[in-house]
Amino acid sequence: MQNENSLPELDQYNFHHRISEMTGRTVVFFTSPDCGACRAARFALSSLHEKSGLQVYEVDAVMNPALTNEFGFFHLPSLYLYIDGDYHAQIQSEANPDSMAHAIETFSALPAEEEP
């Protein structure tokens, strides 16, 4: 099911397979329908997608408890950067396009890490 901003979704059944096939920079965005801060992050990420072609995928944390437990985050939204299918970092940024773009650029320069 697509959300109102048309970000494609991943779930606990296709997540690892789809991520491993991705090329370029991809942000995975964990969210929930009742999360107010998630709406602001979704807007910023949608804007980055439209401006720069950044790939952005959304995961409903409530509907995908296996992934939520695997990543072990404690707050929403939670954002993770992948480059060519490799995990790079958890992104922590203000929910505006410029701040997120800067954080993505900064973390893109770092080597890949082990996924949480």
Position 80 in a domain: yes
Phi/psi region, residue 6 (left: phi>0; alpha: psi -120 to 50; beta: rest), is left
Q: For the sheet with 78-83, list strands across it.
A: 55-60, 25-31, 78-83, 86-91
Q: What is the pLDDT of residue 2?
A: 44
2 falls within a domain: no
**What does the pLDDT look like over 52-110, one tens digit per residue?**
989 999 999 999 999 999 999 889 999 999 999 999 999 999 999 999 999 999 999 99
Summarised one tens digit per residue, pLDDT across range 23-40 is 999 999 999 999 999 999
- Is the pLDDT reported for residue 5 higher than 60? no
Asked if residue 81 belongs to a domain, the reply is yes
- Determine, yes or no, domain membership for 6: no
CA distance 93 to 55: 17
Domain presence at residue 60: yes
The pTM score is: 0.91
Within 13 Å of residue 88, how many CA atoms lie on the same side as its CB?
A: 22
What CATH number does residue 75 fall under? 3.40.30.10
CB atoms within 10 A of CB 92: 10
Domain containing 43 equals 14-109
Q: Is the residue at 20 inside a domain? A: yes
What is the count of structural domains for the chain? Answer: 1
